[in-house]
Amino acid sequence: MKKYRRIKQSPWLYLSVKLPMMGVFLMLVVIPALQVAVDFTIIPPKYHGFVTGTLMAVLSYVGKLIYQPELHKGADDE
């Protein structure tokens, strides 16, 4: 039976965990806001996919801009 190594620190200390969780909560607000914008024709329905796709691309780009040095050191560097 294989024993797993326990994590010594809380995973919530890493941006790689925090940023996706913040993104999820942001999307809980953004997606309904986009739907309301389409329903009230603030954004025409034919542009809804474009706006959503562009927003996702921008959010992923912003997430990649933040340098996280703790992700670049190996497990043996401890």
More confidently predicted of 27 and 39? 39
Percent helix, strand and coil across the chain, each to the nearest 5: 70, 0, 30
Report the mean per-residue pLDDT for the chain: 76
Q: How far apart are CA 52 and CA 74, in angstroms?
A: 36
How high is the pLDDT of residue 74? 61
Decide if pLDDT at 30 tops 60: yes
| Segment holding 72, helix H or strand E | none
Grade residue 54 by pLDDT with cuts at 50, 70 and 90. confident
